[in-house]
Structure 1
Amino acid sequence: MAGYKHPCIHCGNLIDHDARYCIYCNSRSPFAFRCPDCLKEVEQKQSICSSCGRPLYVPCPSCAQLTFVSDNCQSCGTTLLVQCQNKRCMQMQFFQNTKCTACGKLLKNKKKRK
């Protein structure tokens, strides 16, 4: 039975409804925005995460404009993700995270945290 496809919220391309990543824009959460700390679903109109209290608008490390905690800066398009250095994990993480949300290892981010 064929499955229905849904648009990725980041790029708009249609992908399988059960996809965990968008194959077009490489988004790690194609159907919902998630808090980078607790991974709960959040909406762009929220200013803080209702689950953990994390601010959802942060200054971009490249252009310093406030941007929503997504995969890329809304102003300049710079990626806001860094890769976990754990060879077994290698998951992409939000640049301000201090620990990997997948494996728990400390992140040594090259991008400045503001």
Structure 2
Amino acid sequence: MASYKHPCNYCGKLIARDSNFCPFCTHENPLGPMRCPVCRYPLEDGAKVCGHCGVLLWITCQSCGKETFLGDKCSNCSAPLLIVCPNPKCRTEQSPASKNCIKCGKPLR
């Protein structure tokens, strides 16, 4: 599964979320400060929940069992972080950062 990409703050082209430089416009820190994966609100270091939308920012990785930041992959074991839609007719795998299923629209939590 491919990693989700985000727009560079300077040129708007989609880049990997762990980029230190934009490969297109060459600016350093192209994604700016750490942001909430749901609403993109800037986060303070050590935040446990987003101060804007209230989403929990740390989850337990299903692969290694350790706590990790809510993102594309586990910061401990690099396993992709996925959640399965609880709708029995859907069961689509997707990022846990979504509030609703990307296919059927049902709430994921």
TM-score by length of 1: 0.49
Relative distance call for 1:40 and 1:15 in structure 2 (3 A) is: same
Tell me: CA distance 1:83–1:13, structure 2 relative to 1, closer, same or farther (3 Å): farther
* Corresponding position of 2:48: 47
Instruction: Say which structure is richer in strand.
Output: 1
SS in 2 for 1:46: coil
Q: Unpaired segments of 5 or more residues in structure 2?
A: 1-9, 86-92
Q: Counterpart amino acid of 2:72? A: D
C-alpha deviation, 1:75, in angstroms: 0.4
Distance in 1 (CA, whole Å) between partners of 2:75 and 2:52 is 23
Letter in 2 for 1:76: C
The offset of 1:31, in angstroms, is 1.4
Residues 107 and 50 of structure 1: CA distance in aligned 2, closer, same or farther (over 3 Å): closer
Change (3 A) 1:38 1:8: closer
1:105 matched to 2:105: yes
Please report the TM-score for the alignment, with normalisation by the length of structure 2: 0.51
Give the superposition deviation at 1:8: 5.5
- Give structure 1 stretches of 5+ with no counterpart: 18-29, 85-91
Q: 1:83 to 1:60 in 2, by over 3 A?
A: closer
The percent identity for this pair of structures is: 28
Distance in 1 between residues matched to 2:23 and 2:75, nearest whole Å: 22
Number of equivalent positions: 85
Instruction: Provide the C-alpha distance between the structure 2 equivalents of 1:55 and 1:83, rounded to a whole number of angstroms.
Output: 18
Alignment map for 1:23-34 (pairs within 5 Å): 31=31, 33-34=34-35
Q: For residues 76 and 70 of structure 2, what CA distance do their matches in structure 1 show?
A: 12
